[in-house]
Every structure is written in structure tokens, then in C-alpha cells.
């Protein structure tokens, strides 16, 4: 199976763990990931005012490239990018005026090949027919849990993992339409399929603090603290995330959390694809564990998850 | 030249009303009367300031007699207002009431236009069209039908019981059908009732007893209405008698069967907070006073797997061979009193859905408060029986939520929440009660005073803000709310939470209502004929409604509505015979090809196909004269009386010529 | 000192602009406060989210434009998902930020991040933060 895949800028630089573990895991499932040629930043934020239409240009440009390459599905792992791409696509689908304006903006697009210096200026209009899927949805619907289960090479022995959805994957429900924001089970089903035991805790969709961790760190520190504390209280040994920003707030900022809340006990944070890759037999060195501030190596050892199939 | 029989030309009188300035302000009524003077068919034409007044009506009566009129047109307001007035006037003058035409030149003309010249021209056209129609009107007689003076009441809660007693006290026979083993509905599950704090069972059981002993009430419990056919005054009802496996008259309530029954089941009367056996009495004051064997939870009756209850029954009251039977009754009126249910907590995922045992709904809390409940009236929380030191009450759970749940207000929650908080504070004096509200709606008599007592005397903390999330941390429930009045986000630790869940349509009743073709609104509540002026009658003739089947309401209103429905049934029964509007759509057998299109069009099920003659047949009593069949009939066999195709075309010709 | 509410057209101008930009009907809000109850950043805010909506309803633009609340919103959409009237409060916040004087000072600009921190931060934080809070 060949599928278009959008990593997003952060995955190529600061959080390569999410990108590498995704690729390696997909290799084991015979899924070839193809990045749209010359893709650029999606903009990170879906413009919330009716007038900032130009903010839709960047994500639609990505989708147009997918269309140009004959793809009708775009898979992404980063929930932030997922929200932007999906919502921008829906905005185009629902509002013909926005559709017209964005295509008008993109008409002036020029692509220059960095190697050959070739210029491309004639682009087709984006028709609005690409479906944006989160990798979790893709794994459930297109790959299927049975295929994952039959290819598992390591037994994670029902490791209790707390799924952390964060904000962007599920809300606003009307536009994201992934799951019920107050009682979701997409991530839980995935964890069970991979061999973990999904932990139920009330903070799985509470905000981690997002970019407020830079503008007013104290507020975000409390938010992250409450999420991790709840996960721990309900028996989790690790927290699985789908977004580099959540990872930053929940992993890199654990020192700040410890300083502000003396009763805080650390907990390793992992990307959901690291669990998948490891369970499918991928080498530990290819999981990107070096990027973690809180060591997660303990979760990925022969002792904790023995091999079941060569 | 052919010899055509010349029909005697009708003598039609025209009365154009000024309606003060309502019509005359825009339409030149004198001109209208004048222009129509010489129109074919018009023998007399005049205008007057208020036709509906006594002198106006007297003028109509006198003129009919003096001028020997055989048809009249009153050009005035909408027929919905005064058609009957002038029909009556005509009748008094000796003219058939169906020779009256009301030409609406107010709602259809003077009230919607500002150009006087054109409005006047329009009025002339409207009147001319009615003259054209009037020339072809026939004398009609109302259709008479007998009334069977017996009433069927569906539902044995407070609304059904009240209606039954009132109708029976009038002197008529009543059949009361209740699908549960006992009457009492939801009210018998309540502990105290607001605003008097009367013990619910104490005030309800006398009514239950009265109903069971009333000579004119036939009480059918553990029965379900299967279907109703016929029409107002003449209904045929099929009722399913469910097998109780216990002979009511023989059972002496000794309780030995219950002691030996091995099957323990969740007790629905106690909202799942207690258990009962497969053979059980729903509650001690149940009427009829008999045990019932719940076949679904019994180990097996066919073949008999256990048989212990039968063995210990001294009175030989238990009979495993009972079968479901059908009872057929004939009645003249039906009162729908099927009650309500509470919105499911599963829908509120952010409040824990149904995850947490200690998050309960209003009825569950009533059972906890009740002296005959699972805790004997001691307030203990379901999970561990601990006496809660802090209870949070959340109003509007599912109500007033246009986005995710139900848009309407459930009316009773503000009062019962105040009552719950008050009861908790009385029984657990150290306990902390907090109520989260958006508004407090206490409009009934003595209601606001009751609520103020809760706040001032019982020191219940009312916080204005809607709760965002409820979750468990260890042993305690955490409630996230806000105080919009001080602008503070709040977090409360509670031992128990009581959600005031929205009131919704009764479970399992939808299918019955659909079968009976009783109109409901979009929420499944039975629709009334007019929201202000006809609140207890359904749009379907012969069906009345009472209680929460119609919409959320409290006990005082329910009782009032039930008595009102009974009075309306009394209206129906007081008539010697029923009179039905004759402006129905008969079938012309010779033209009818039996295609059946009209049968599918009829919203009142008035038409059927006669298989032997291959033509459509109409039950004139059921026909409401909507005309849908007449419009659809391809052969013209369906012609509405006094609104035939011919008449309609003549109206068009009158309007369009010129 | 009494707050003088603008009358008629003047009052409508501000509200209309907000409704135009956000696409939301602020008058659908019946001040239940559920948005504030669930907002993760509300405890740091000077005006709660429901109070912002209330002030917009009353046309009190000065109070709204001066509040710190606008720059504490993390666009997590918890408010939107809980609102019983389906109002997207995050969009209203963005609309107000949009109206703020475009030549004014950044609420949070690049100059406020120490370089070592900037090295560490994932790019998406910087992009989203500046798109929301700076000119």
C-alpha cells in the first residue's frame, strides 16, 4: 500500500522520533509513505476569523500537491497539523467562496526545483477531494487491527499506557469528526491492538498548556502537571502522545513541573508510533529515544517486552 | 336551440363588513358592495360597520327572510373566526348553514396591502369568486353518529388515575390500562413532593385505592394497549393481557414464594439500587395487591425448571400455564396518560456518563430518600454506603442544550433539586449541599417561598454556573464549575452528585403512539390541538391527553390537566349524538377506477378499498375534508362537497376574467 | 461611576464586527458559564470567557480589548465542545484579537524569548504562538 504522508516541519527537525518511528512501523506493515513533493509548513494554526482566509493557502497548497500526485488520502501523525489540514479542507468544501479565493491565491504559486532550478507555474485547482486522516484512523480503517496483531513481534505484556489525546485531534467535534470528545475510544483501541493496556483517566483530553507554556509558563505547568498526575494516579506507566507540542510540554518540561509541584512524580512520555514500531520488531536504535528528556528506555527492553516471533 | 332545463338562479345576499378601520381603512367597502350589486347571482348588496355584532347578525337574519335569499356572502375577516357565527344566523333565519360563504378580505387583503386602489380591486375579485362558488353550493346536513359513553385511559400514573376518577364520577364507565404490574406511575416512587413535602405515597395511595374500588372503573394492570381502530365515539380497542402467572384473586401476599425464589434481579422500582426476586411485588402498597412472576428472569417455565414458588403457595395461586390473551373493548374516547422518563446519563460523557455509581439522577435520589427505599430513608451513597459529607446538585443536565441534547426546559428540576438539597440538609445536618444552576424557575404557587427557605434556612449554597466536568479522583468526585456572579472558576470535592436529568418522552411508548397515529411533536411528546386554547385535546378526534405524556410538568399541573381532559371527555359524552362536518369527500362509484391513490393520500385513514366492488370507500366520520384525495384523484371521482372541482374552476374564472 | 452603555447604532458596530469576524452569534449566549468552568487557563485570566462574551453583548469594547484573557487562550476548544448553545468562544477571542490596534505592541513578541529557549522549542510552538499573539 502506498499512501501520502505529511510529517510537518517539527518532525523533520526537533521531533524526528515521531517521524522515524512512524516510517519504521509502516515499513513493517508494508505501507509505503510518500511525502508530497516540495511540501511546506501547514501554518500550525487554522485561522479562526472569517477574514484571515490567506491562512488557508498553506495547508491547501499541501493538499493540492497530493491531488497533483494522484493521491486521494493524506495521512499525518502530528495532531496539530492534522487539525489545520482537515479544517482547511473542510472550509474549502463547505464554502464555495473560500474555495474560489484560495485557488485564486494559489494560482500565483511558483515552484522552483532546488536542483534543476526548473520553474513550475501551471497548477491545477484544488478540487477538495483529498481526505485527511490521522494515522490512528488510518491504522484502524485502512490497515486494520487484525493485520497489526498478526505482525506483532514483541509482546508488550499489557503495559499500562495512558492515551493522551490533547485538544486538536478531537475538537471542534463538528469539524474534526474523529470521535466523541468526552468519551473517545480510538486511541484506546489502538493501544489494545498493539499489546498495551489502555488506562482510563479523566484528563486524557484536557489541554496540556499548548503554546502558553512559552508566553505564561506557570499556567501551562499546572495544566501539564494535572494531566500527568491523573495518568499516574490511575496506574499508567507511560503516557502516549500524538503531538510534538504535547511531547514538549509533558516531557521536556517535567523539570519545571517538579520545581512548581513538589509532590510530582515523573513518568515517561512516548509517541504512539514508538510503541507500534517496537511491537512490530523495529530496532531500539531507530525509535528516536535520544530525544526524550525523561528516559523512556526502560519501556523498550527485551525484558519488558519479550520477542514472541522471530 | 336545445331544450336545456333552466336551473332557477340563486338569490344571493352580499354583506361587506368594514370591521371598523381594519378593512375599511384600506378597502373601499362601499365601492365593493356597489360594484357587486349587478353581478350575476347577487340579489342584494350592502355594507355595514361590524357584521359580527348583534345588529349586524340581525340584519343578516332579517334580510334573508325579507329578500328570500338562498345564499349569503359575508365579506369580512377569516372564516376561522366567524364562519360558525353566520352559519348559526342563517340557521335561525331558516337557511341551510352551508349556503354561507365567508370572503376573507381582511387577513388576505386589507391587512397585507397598503395600496388602497389595488386592495379594493382585489376585494372585488375575492368577493366575485365566492359568489361564483355560492351559486353552486348545495344544502348539506351534518353527519350524525352515536357515541359510546365509555372511556379508555392509557396509563395508571397520577394523571391517568385522576382522569379515571373524574370520568367515572360523572357516571361513565372507564377502562384503565397500565402496562406495569401495579398502578402508581412515577409518583409512587417519589419520597416527598414539593412544595408541601407531603409524603408522595401517602397522598397517592388513597387515590389508587379509590380507583381500584370504584364501581365504574375496570382496572387492567399488566395489560398493554395493542391497537385501536374506529373513530371518535366508536373505538374498538385490542388489549394484550400479559400473563402474571399468579391468580390475583387468590394471592394473599403471604410472601412465601418470594422467600424461596432463587433468582435475584435488579429492582427497577428502586432504580437499580436494590434487588428483587423473579416473583415479586413491586412495592408494598401495590394495587392490585398481588405477586407477579417476571417470566424473563425466571429460570424457566416451559419446561418448568424450578417450581419452588408454586410448591410453597398455600392458596394455589401460581399457575405456570397462563398465556397472553387478548381483551377487546369498545369505547368512545381515549385519554393518553403515558407519562415520562428521564434522559439517559450515558449521554453526558463529561459528567462520567454512567461510569460512577455515586453520580445519580433525581429518581435514584428519591429512592434513597424514601423510607421504603433501599436505605430506609438514610442518605447513603451507592458505592460504599458512606453517609455523604458533601453533595453537589447539578441542574439542567441535558435540558436547555440546543447544541448537544434537548433544547427545552424540563420545568420540575429547579423545584425538586431545592427539595432534594433541603431533605439532605435536614437529615445530614453537617452535610454541605451545593446547587449549580443557570436560572431558578419556581413559578408555581408557594414555589418561590419554598426555594427561598432552602437558601435562607437550610443554608444550601446556590452557585450560578453550569458544570463543565465531573470525574473521580480516588474516593471523591471532583466537580468543575464556575461562579459567573463573582467571576471565579470553582472546583468542589463531593461524595455524591445528583444530576437533574431532562424529562423525556416515556420509553417504549413511541411505537404505540405511532400505531395509534397520535401526533407527537419533534421530542416525542403528544401534540395538543392548540398550544393555548386547546391544551388537553389531541389533533386526532376522540383522543385526549394528560400529564407528562404531553410535556414536562409537575403534579399540581398534571392533576389539573387530567381533570380538564376528563371534562372534555364529559363534553363529548354529554352530546346525544356526534355531529360531524358534512364538507367531506364522497366517492363517485361510477367514476372511480379503484386505483387507490386517494387511500394513500388520506392522513386520517378515512378511505379504504372495497375489494369486492373495486372502488374506494370513505368513512365520512373520519374524513376531515382536507381535500388531499380530491386533488390527487385522476378521474374526478373524489369531489369535496361544496368545494367541487367545478366550483373551484368557477372561482378562478371569476377572479381572472377582466 | 455608572457605565454608560452606548445606544443604538454605536453599540451595534462593535458587536457586528465581532460577529462578522467570528461567524458566531454572541446573543445566543445565556451566560451559563460552562465555558469558563472547563477552561484550563481561566484561573489566570482577569476576565472569564463568559464575561468576555457578556461584555461583547453589552458593547463594552474598551473592557474587552484591554483584558489579559485574550492572550491566555490556548485555542483548546474545550469551551466550544461544552457550550449548550454551540458557540465557539475561541473564535470570538480570535475576533477580538483581530480588532486590536494593528500598529500596537505585540502581546508576546519574538524578543521575549531567550535564545537558548528558542533553540529548544519545536518550531510549531513558535509559529502558532506568534500567529496568535503578535502582529
The 10s digit of each residue's pLDDT in B161-199 is: 999 999 999 999 999 999 999 999 999 999 999 999 999
Q: Is the CB of residue A263 less than 8 Å away from at least one CB of chain B?
A: no
CB of A188 closer than 8 Å to CB of A163? yes
Domains, in order of start, for chain A = 2-133 (1.20.1050.140), 151-299 (3.40.50.11810)
Q: Specify the pLDDT at position B3.
A: 52
Phi, psi of A241 (to 5 degrees): -125, 165
Residue C110 in any domain: the answer is yes
Shared-domain flag, residues B330 and B275: no
Residue C6 in any domain: the answer is no
The answer, as to whether pTM is greater than 0.80, is yes
Q: Which domain holds residue C92?
A: 11-100
**How many CB atoms within 10 Å of residue B248?**
15
Give the residue from chain B lying closest to C82, CA to CA: B468
Residue B652 in any domain: the answer is no
For residues B36-57, one letter each, b for 16 or more C-beta atoms within 10 angstroms of the residue's C-beta and e for the rest, the string is beebebbbbbbbbeebbeeebb
- Neighbors of chain B with 3 or more C-beta pairs under 8 Å: A, C
CA distances from B616 to B592, B600, B601, B610, B619 (A): 7, 11, 12, 6, 10
**How many CB atoms within 10 Å of residue A217?**
16
Who's near B226: CB < 8 A, 6+ residues apart? B238, B239, B240, B326
C37 and B482: CB-CB below 8 Å?
Answer: yes
d(CA A61, CA A39): 8
- Report residue C45's pLDDT band, with 50, 70 and 90 as the boundaries: very high
The 10s digit of each residue's pLDDT in B74-115 is: 999 999 999 999 999 999 999 999 999 999 999 999 999 999
Shared-domain flag, residues C58 and C31: yes
Q: Specify the pLDDT at position C101.
A: 76
Shared-domain flag, residues B57 and B190: no
CB of B598 closer than 8 Å to CB of B638? yes
- What DSSP assignment string belongs to B88-105? HHHHHTT--GGGEEEEE-
Shared-domain flag, residues C38 and C92: yes
CB of B188 closer than 8 Å to CB of B201? yes
Q: For position C80, which CATH number holds?
A: 1.10.1060.10
Helix axes B555-574, B158-170, angle to 10 degrees: 30
Sign of the alpha-carbon torsion through B373, B374, B378, B380:
negative
The 10s digit of each residue's pLDDT in A217-251 is: 999 999 999 999 999 999 999 999 999 999 999 99
Q: Specify the pLDDT at position B1.
A: 44
The 10s digit of each residue's pLDDT in B160-169 is: 999 999 999 9
Cα of first residue to Cα of last residue in chain B, in angstroms, is: 29
Helix axes C123-133, C89-99, angle to 10 degrees: 70
d(CA B591, CA B596): 13
Q: What is the mean pLDDT of chain B?
A: 94
Q: Specify the pLDDT at position B4.
A: 54
Shared-domain flag, residues C135 and C73: no
Q: Is the CB of residue C29 less than 8 Å away from at least one CB of chain B?
A: no
Shared-domain flag, residues B465 and B521: no
Residue B71 in any domain: the answer is yes
- CA torsion, points A166, A172, A175, A180, in degrees to nearest 10? 70
The 10s digit of each residue's pLDDT in B353-362 is: 889 999 999 9
Shared-domain flag, residues B357 and B420: yes
Residue B455 in any domain: the answer is yes
Helix, strand, coil content of chain C in percent (nearest 5) = 60, 0, 40
d(CA B481, CA B492): 8
Q: Which cell numbers hold the place of B106? A: 381582511
Shared-domain flag, residues B376 and B499: yes
For residues B173-207, one letter each, b for 16 or more C-beta atoms within 10 angstroms of the residue's C-beta and e for the rest, the string is bbbbbbbbbbbbbbbbbbbbbbbeeebbbeebbeb
Shared-domain flag, residues B568 and B422: no
Q: Is the peptide bond before C38 cis (omega within 30 degrees of 0)?
A: no
Show which of B116, B142, B168 is a domain's final residue.
B142
Q: Which cell numbers hold the place of B217? A: 372503573
Residue C108 in any domain: the answer is yes
User: Which stretches of chain A are assigned E, i.e. beta strand?
Assistant: 2-6, 32-34, 73-76, 111-112, 119-120, 131-134, 159-163, 196-198, 238-241, 269-271
Shared-domain flag, residues B369 and B452: yes
Residue B653 in any domain: the answer is no
All residues of chain A having their beta carbon less than 8 Å from the beta carbon of residue C43 are 219, 222
The 10s digit of each residue's pLDDT in B226-247 is: 999 888 899 999 999 999 999 9
Q: Which cell numbers hold the place of C82? A: 461544552
Shared-domain flag, residues C73 and C50: yes
All residues of chain B having their beta carbon less than 8 Å from the beta carbon of residue C36 are 465, 482, 484, 489
CA angle A171/A174/A176 to nearest 5° reads: 50
- Neighbors of chain C with 3 or more C-beta pairs under 8 Å: A, B
- Surface of A (142-171) touching B: CB under 8 A: none
Residue C5 in any domain: the answer is no
Who's near C119: CB < 8 A, 6+ residues apart? none
The 10s digit of each residue's pLDDT in B495-546 is: 999 999 999 999 988 888 988 888 899 999 999 999 999 999 998 889 999 9
Residue B476 in any domain: the answer is yes
Residue B80 DSSP one-character state: H
Who's near B157: CB < 8 A, 6+ residues apart? B183, B184, B185, B186, B187, B337, B339, B547
B591: left (phi over 0), alpha (psi -120 to 50) or beta: alpha
d(CA B255, CA B281): 9
The 10s digit of each residue's pLDDT in B289-320 is: 999 999 999 999 888 999 999 999 999 999 99
Shared-domain flag, residues C18 and C51: yes
Residue C19 in any domain: the answer is yes
Shared-domain flag, residues B396 and B352: yes
Residue found under cell 467570528: C22
- Report residue B603's pLDDT band, with 50, 70 and 90 as the boundaries: confident
Shared-domain flag, residues C85 and C121: no
Percent over 90 (pLDDT), chain C: 60
Shared-domain flag, residues B111 and B217: no
Shared-domain flag, residues C96 and C69: yes
Alpha helices (H) in B429-485, listed in sequence order = 447-456
When divided into structural domains, chain C yields a total of 2
The 10s digit of each residue's pLDDT in A258-277 is: 999 999 999 999 999 999 99
CB of B72 closer than 8 Å to CB of B15? yes
Which residue has better confidence, B1 or B207?
A: B207
Q: Specify the pLDDT at position A107.
A: 87
Helix (H, G, I), strand (E, B) or coil at B352: coil
All residues of chain A having their beta carbon less than 8 Å from the beta carbon of residue C132 are 45, 211
Give the residue from chain C lying closest to A180, CA to CA: C81
- Surface of C (97-126) touching A: CB under 8 A: 98, 107-108, 112-113, 117, 120-126
All residues of chain C having their beta carbon less than 8 Å from the beta carbon of residue A172 are 77, 80-81, 88
Shared-domain flag, residues B308 and B355: no
Q: Specify the pLDDT at position A309.
A: 64
Shared-domain flag, residues C46 and C90: yes
Q: Specify the pLDDT at position B345.
A: 96
Q: For position B235, which CATH number holds?
A: 3.50.50.60
Mean pLDDT by 10 residues, chain A (310 residues): 93 91 95 92 91 90 93 94 95 92 88 85 86 96 94 93 95 92 93 95 94 93 95 96 95 94 94 95 92 91 76
Residue B249 in any domain: the answer is no
Chain centroid to Cα B261, Å, comes to: 41
Q: Which domain holds residue B37?
A: 12-142
Residue C132 in any domain: the answer is yes
Residue B436 in any domain: the answer is yes
CA distances from A264 to A217, A229, A234, A237, B420 (A): 17, 7, 14, 14, 39
All residues of chain B having their beta carbon less than 8 Å from the beta carbon of residue A228 are none
d(CA B463, CA B452): 14
Shared-domain flag, residues B335 and B346: no
The 10s digit of each residue's pLDDT in B403-418 is: 999 999 999 999 999 9
State the ipTM, two decimals.
0.90
Shared-domain flag, residues C46 and C110: no
d(CA C97, CA A266): 37
Shared-domain flag, residues C95 and C110: no
Classify residue B444 as exposed, middle or buried by CB count within 10 Å of its CB (0-12, 13-18, 19+). middle
All residues of chain B having their beta carbon less than 8 Å from the beta carbon of residue C47 are 487
Alpha helices (H) in B68-214, listed in sequence order = 79-92, 116-134, 158-170, 200-213
Helix (H, G, I), strand (E, B) or coil at A256: helix
Nearest to B353 among A183, A230, A233 (CB): A183
Q: What is the mean pLDDT of chain C?
A: 90
Q: For position B127, which CATH number holds?
A: 3.40.50
d(CA B254, CA A34): 78
Shared-domain flag, residues C75 and C135: no
Shared-domain flag, residues C17 and C58: yes
Shared-domain flag, residues B487 and B346: yes
Q: Specify the pLDDT at position B9.
A: 84
All residues of chain C having their beta carbon less than 8 Å from the beta carbon of residue B483 are 33
Q: Is the CB of residue A167 less than 8 Å away from at least one CB of chain C?
A: yes
The 10s digit of each residue's pLDDT in B53-80 is: 999 999 999 999 999 999 999 999 999 9
Nearest to B349 among A183, A230, A233 (CB): A183
C129 and A214: CB-CB below 8 Å?
Answer: yes
Q: Specify the pLDDT at position A301.
A: 85
Mean pLDDT, to the nearest integer, of C2-24?
A: 84
Chain centroid to Cα B493, Å, comes to: 42
Cα of first residue to Cα of last residue in chain A, in angstroms, is: 24
Q: Is the CB of residue C46 less than 8 Å away from at least one CB of chain A?
A: no
Residue B82 in any domain: the answer is yes
Q: Specify the pLDDT at position B117.
A: 96
When divided into structural domains, chain B yields a total of 5
Whether pLDDT at B6 is above 80: no
Half-sphere CA count of B357, side-chain side, radius 13 A: 11
Classify residue B574 as exposed, middle or buried by CB count within 10 Å of its CB (0-12, 13-18, 19+). exposed
Q: Which of B641, B613, B646, B611 is nearest to B629 (CA)?
A: B641
B349 and A180: CB-CB below 8 Å?
Answer: yes
Amino acid at each position: 500500500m502506498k499512501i501520502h504522508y505529511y510529517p510537518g516541519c517539527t518532525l523533520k527537525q526537533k521531533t524526528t522520533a515521531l517521524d522515524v518511528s512512524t516510517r519504521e512501523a509502516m515499513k513493517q506493515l508494508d505501507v509505503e509513505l510518500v511525502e508530497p513533493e516540495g511540501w511546506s509548513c501547514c501554518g500550525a494554526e487554522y485561522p479562526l476569523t472569517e477574514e484571515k482566509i490567506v491562512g488557508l493557502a498553506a495547508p491547501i497548497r499541501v493538499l493540492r500537491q497530493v491531488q497533483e500526485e494522484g493521491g486521494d488520502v493524506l495521512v499525518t501523525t502530528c495532531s496539530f497539523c492534522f487539525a489545520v489540514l482537515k479544517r482547511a479542507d473542510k472550509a474549502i468544501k463547505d464554502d464555495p467562496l473560500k474555495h474560489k479565493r484560495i485557488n485564486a491565491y494559489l494560482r500565483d504559486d511558483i515552484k522552483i526545483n532546488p536542483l534543476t532550478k526548473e520553474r513550475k507555474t501551471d497548477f491545477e485547482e484544488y478540487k477538495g477531494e483529498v481526505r485527511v486522516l490521522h494515522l490512528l484512523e488510518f491504522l484502524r480503517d485502512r490497515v486494520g487491527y487484525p493485520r497489526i496483531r498478526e505482525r506483532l513481534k514483541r509482546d508488550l505484556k499489557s503495559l499500562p499506557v495512558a492515551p493522551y489525546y490533547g485538544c486538536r485531534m478531537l475538537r471542534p467535534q463538528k469539524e474534526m469528526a474523529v470521535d466523541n470528545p468526552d468519551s473517545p475510544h480510538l486511541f484506546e483501541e489502538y493501544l489494545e491492538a498493539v499489546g498495551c493496556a489502555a488506562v482510563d483517566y479523566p484528563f486524557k483530553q484536557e489541554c496540556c498548556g499548548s503554546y502558553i507554556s512559552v508566553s505564561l509558563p506557570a499556567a501551562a505547568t499546572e495544566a501539564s502537571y494535572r494531566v500527568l498526575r491523573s495518568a499516574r494516579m490511575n496506574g499508567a506507566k507511560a503516557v502516549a502522545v500524538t503531538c510534538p507540542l504535547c511531547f514538549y510540554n509533558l516531557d521536556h518540561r517535567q523539570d519545571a513541573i517538579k520545581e512548581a509541584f513538589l509532590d510530582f512524580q515523573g513518568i515517561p512520555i512516548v509517541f504512539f508510533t514508538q510503541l507500534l514500531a517496537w511491537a512490530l520488531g523495529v530496532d531500539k536504535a531507530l525509535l528516536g529515544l535520544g530525544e526524550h528528556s525523561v528516559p523512556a528506555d526502560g519501556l523498550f527492553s527485551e525484558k519488558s517486552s519479550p520477542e514472541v516471533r522471530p | 336551440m336545445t331544450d336545456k332545463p333552466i336551473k332557477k338562479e340563486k338569490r344571493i345576499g352580499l354583506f361587506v363588513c368594514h370591521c371598523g378601520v381594519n378593512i375599511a381603512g384600506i378597502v373601499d367597502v362601499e365601492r365593493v358592495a356597489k360594484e357587486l350589486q349587478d353581478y350575476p347571482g347577487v340579489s342584494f348588496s350592502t355594507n355595514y360597520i361590524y357584521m359580527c355584532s348583534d345588529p349586524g347578525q340581525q340584519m343578516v337574519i332579517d334580510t334573508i327572510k325579507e329578500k328570500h335569499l338562498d345564499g349569503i356572502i359575508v365579506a369580512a375577516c377569516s372564516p376561522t373566526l366567524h364562519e360558525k357565527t353566520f352559519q348559526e344566523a342563517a340557521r335561525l333565519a331558516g337557511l341551510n348553514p352551508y349556503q354561507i360563504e365567508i370572503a376573507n378580505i381582511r387577513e388576505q387583503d386589507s391587512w397585507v396591502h397598503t395600496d388602497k386602489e389595488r386592495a379594493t380591486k382585489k376585494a372585488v375579485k375575492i368577493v366575485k369568486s365566492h359568489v361564483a362558488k355560492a351559486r353552486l353550493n348545495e344544502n348539506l346536513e351534518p353527519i350524525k353518529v352515536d357515541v359510546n359513553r365509555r372511556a379508555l385511559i392509557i396509563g395508571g400514573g397520577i394523571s391517568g388515575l385522576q382522569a379515571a376518577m373524574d370520568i367515572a364520577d360523572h357516571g361513565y364507565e372507564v377502562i384503565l390500562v397500565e402496562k406495569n404490574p401495579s398502578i402508581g406511575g412515577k409518583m409512587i416512587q417519589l419520597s416527598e413532593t414539593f412544595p408541601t413535602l407531603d409524603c408522595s405515597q401517602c397522598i397517592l395511595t388513597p387515590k389508587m385505592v379509590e380507583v381500584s374500588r370504584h364501581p365504574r372503573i375496570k382496572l387492567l394492570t399488566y395489560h398493554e394497549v395493542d391497537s385501536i381502530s374506529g373513530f371518535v365515539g366508536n373505538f374498538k380497542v385490542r388489549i394484550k393481557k400479559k400473563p402474571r402467572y399468579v391468580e390475583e384473586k387468590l394471592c394473599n401476599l403471604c410472601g412465601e414464594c418470594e422467600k424461596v425464589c432463587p433468582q435475584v434481579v435488579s429492582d427497577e422500582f428502586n432504580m437499580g439500587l436494590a434487588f428483587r426476586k423473579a416473583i415479586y411485588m413491586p412495592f408494598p402498597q401495590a394495587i392490585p395487591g398481588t405477586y407477579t412472576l417476571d417470566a424473563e428472569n425466571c429460570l424457566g417455565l416451559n419446561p418448568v425448571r424450578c417450581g419452588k414458588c408454586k410448591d410453597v403457595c398455600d392458596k394455589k395461586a401460581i399457575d405456570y400455564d397462563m398465556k397472553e390473551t387478548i381483551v377487546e373493548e369498545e369505547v368512545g374516547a381515549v385519554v393518553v396518560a403515558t407519562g415520562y422518563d428521564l434522559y439517559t446519563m450515558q449521554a453526558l460523557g463529561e459528567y462520567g456518563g454512567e461510569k460512577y455509581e455515586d453520580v445519580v439522577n433525581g429518581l435514584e435520589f428519591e429512592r434513597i430518600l424514601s423510607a421504603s427505599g433501599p436505605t430506609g430513608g438514610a442518605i447513603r451513597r451507592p458505592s460504599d454506603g458512606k453517609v455523604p459529607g458533601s453533595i453537589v446538585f447539578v441542574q439542567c443536565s441535558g435540558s436547555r442544550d440546543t447544541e448537544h441534547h434537548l433544547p427545552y426546559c424540563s420545568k420540575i428540576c429547579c423545584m425538586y433539586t431545592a427539595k432534594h438539597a433541603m431533605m439532605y440538609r435536614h437529615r445530614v445536618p453537617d452535610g454541605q449541599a451545593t446547587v449549580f444552576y443557570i436560572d431558578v424557575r419556581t413559578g408555581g404557587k408557594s414555589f418561590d417561598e419554598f426555594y427561598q427557605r432552602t437558601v435562607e434556612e437550610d443554608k444550601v449554597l446556590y452557585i450560578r454556573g453550569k458544570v463543565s466536568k465531573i470525574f473521580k479522583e480516588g474516593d471523591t468526585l471532583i466537580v468543575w464549575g464556575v461562579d459567573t456572579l463573582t467571576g471565579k472558576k470553582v472546583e468542589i470535592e463531593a461524595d455524591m452528585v445528583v444530576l437533574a436529568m431532562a424529562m423525556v418522552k416515556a420509553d417504549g411508548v413511541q411505537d404505540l403512539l405511532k400505531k395509534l397515529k397520535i401526533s407527537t411533536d419533534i421530542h416525542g411528546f403528544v401534540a395538543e390541538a392548540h398550544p393555548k386554547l386547546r391544551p388537553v385535546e389531541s389533533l386526532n378526534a376522540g383522543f385526549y391527553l394528560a400529564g407528562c405524556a404531553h410535556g414536562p410538568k409537575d403534579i399540581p399541573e398534571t392533576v389539573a390537566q387530567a381533570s380538564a381532559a376528563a371534562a372534555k371527555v364529559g363534553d363529548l359524552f354529554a352530546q346525544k349524538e356526534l355531529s360531524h362536518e358534512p364538507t367531506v369527500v364522497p366517492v363517485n362509484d361510477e367514476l372511480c377506477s379503484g386505483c387507490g391513490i386517494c387511500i394513500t393520500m388520506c392522513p386520517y385513514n378515512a378511505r379504504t378499498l372495497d375489494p369486492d366492488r373495486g372502488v374506494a370507500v370513505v368513512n365520512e366520520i373520519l374524513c376531515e375534508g382536507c381535500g388531499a384525495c380530491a386533488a390527487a384523484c385522476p378521474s374526478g371521482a373524489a369531489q369535496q362537497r361544496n368545494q367541487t372541482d367545478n366550483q373551484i374552476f368557477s372561482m378562478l374564472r371569476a377572479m381572472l376574467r377582466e | 461611576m455608572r457605565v454608560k452603555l452606548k445606544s443604538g447604532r454605536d453599540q451595534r458596530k462593535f458587536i457586528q464586527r465581532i460577529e462578522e469576524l467570528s461567524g458566531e452569534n454572541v446573543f445566543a449566549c445565556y451566560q451559563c458559564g460552562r465555558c469558563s468552568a472547563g477552561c484550563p487557563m481561566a484561573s489566570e485570566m482577569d476576565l472569564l470567557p463568559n464575561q468576555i462574551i457578556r461584555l461583547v453583548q453589552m458593547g463594552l469594547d474598551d473592557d474587552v480589548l484591554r483584558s489579559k484573557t485574550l492572550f491566555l487562550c490556548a485555542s483548546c476548544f474545550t469551551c466550544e465542545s461544552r457550550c449548550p448553545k454551540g458557540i465557539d468562544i475561541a473564535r470570538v477571542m480570535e475576533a477580538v484579537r483581530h480588532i486590536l490596534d494593528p500598529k500596537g505592541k505585540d502581546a508576546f513578541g519574538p524578543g521575549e524569548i531567550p535564545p537558548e529557549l528558542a533553540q529548544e522549542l519545536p518550531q510549531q510552538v513558535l509559529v502558532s504562538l506568534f500567529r496568535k499573539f503578535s502582529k
